[in-house]
Amino acid sequence: MGFGRCVMNCIVSTEQFYFQMGILGLPNVGKSTFFNVLTKSQAQAENFPFCTIDPNESRVPVSDIRFDWLVEHYKPASRVPAFLNVVDIAGLVKGASEGQGLGNAFLSHVSACDALFHLCRAFDDDDVTHVEGDVNPVRDLEIIGTELIKKDLQYLEGAIDKVGKLAIRGGDKSKKPEHECLLKVKKLLEEDGRPVRLEIWNEKEIEILNHHLLLTAKPIVYLVNLSEKDYIRKVIFLLFLISLFTAEFRILFFNVHLFLKNKWLPKMKAWLDENDPHAACIPFSGTLELKLMDMPEDERANYLKEQGTTSALEKIVRTGYKALQLEYFFTCGKDEVKAWTIQKGTKAPQAAGRIHTDFEKGFIMAEVCKMDDLMELGSENAVKAAGRYRQQGRNYVVEDGDVILFKFNAGAGLTSKKK
């Protein structure tokens, strides 16, 4: 207790509750195509490096059968799901940390994101050039990882000097733990070549590192862009029925590579096992998803059924949302069903504050109904009759999918302002 593997155990964002996933990768690996189908937009997606210069931003609804159930049950005038904010970052190239390509500008876009989709290409296509001359996703993973480490080391050089002046020469003892922590990070990156997110950190170190927001501290979800043919093979479909969110899935997925006939999958498994063993890795086909996007809904459903496959987009969105360590609770009624985004570990008063600051200031209690109970029993009255409706106080930690009615003192906010 008190230790965490990843700095992002305590996410810090420049805007409260505005967290975003960046799409990261080399040029021409399918990032803009993925962004287009994910957001159903038409960002420029041409066959040449740096077709995306300014990052495209959009938000994607998070699919959830619980939300769909509430909408069907209450038939509200307004329905607001949870959203994942996504940014399409222009392709990085080898030497970006030294200014190659559009280098430092792109890396600043990475810095503005809270977590990353790292997209790599595992398909051959003579019509789509590769910036390195040939397809090799393992090499591409190494290039991106190296550039992020180099950029962090550049940042640390200045940060260590600045904090060191205060801690050592200035005699500010309060800065000594920060100075020692930054030196530890420098050693990790420089000598071990390991990203910050893979190290074990104590609570104080996590607090310090969240202040610095290093690139290698950001959670990563790996996306493998396959050809449509490889993706729709029956083995992949069967494996999609297994959870995509566990390391066990990745082991199973890659252990059947002989059936998939994609030469890069076993090599990627070996790289991930050694370099980022706890990360989620999801295969998809940008070509297939683009084709599906242009189909009418009934035609799309028939095509997927005929091919014996499924779209990976919903799973990718949910995995990205979880990588940001976000969850949501519901408020519902005839007027509106809404999912409210919070960070994991949020207590009831702070969750109430997401709706209105006065809800937090005047918090009395939270009346909580679990979605499993509501879906099983059919109504809030039935949940109450079964004794499963709960009244929770200030220390209650809101759980993902809670249906909540907050009770608060309406005058508390006014009283506080007068003081």
In sign, the C-alpha dihedral spanning 273, 276, 278, 284 is: negative
Distance CA 167, CA 177 (A): 9
Burial (CB count within 10 angstroms: exposed 0-12, middle 13-18, buried 19+), residue 72: exposed
Pair of tokens at residue 108: 């600043």
Pair of tokens at residue 43: 């960002």
Cα 100 from chain centroid (whole Å): 27
Burial (CB count within 10 angstroms: exposed 0-12, middle 13-18, buried 19+), residue 147: buried
* Residue 32 labelled as part of a binding site: yes
* Residue 346 labelled as part of a binding site: no
Other CB atoms within 10 A of residue 244 CB = 19
* Residue 29 labelled as part of a binding site: yes
Reduced 3-state DSSP string for 324-389: CCEEEEEEECCCEEEEEEEECCCEHHHHHHHHCHHHHHCEEEEEEECHHHHHHHCCHHHHHHCCCC
* Residue 95 labelled as part of a binding site: no
Half-sphere exposure of 190 (CA within 13 A, CB side): 11
* Residue 163 labelled as part of a binding site: no
Half-sphere exposure of 217 (CA within 13 A, CB side): 29
Pairing of strands 115-121, 20-24: parallel
In sign, the C-alpha dihedral spanning 27, 11, 398, 332 is: negative
3-state secondary structure of 121: strand
How many residues are present in the chain?
A: 419
Distance CA 221, CA 119 (A): 8
Binding site for ATP: which residues? 28-33, 226
Binding site: which residues? 28-33, 226
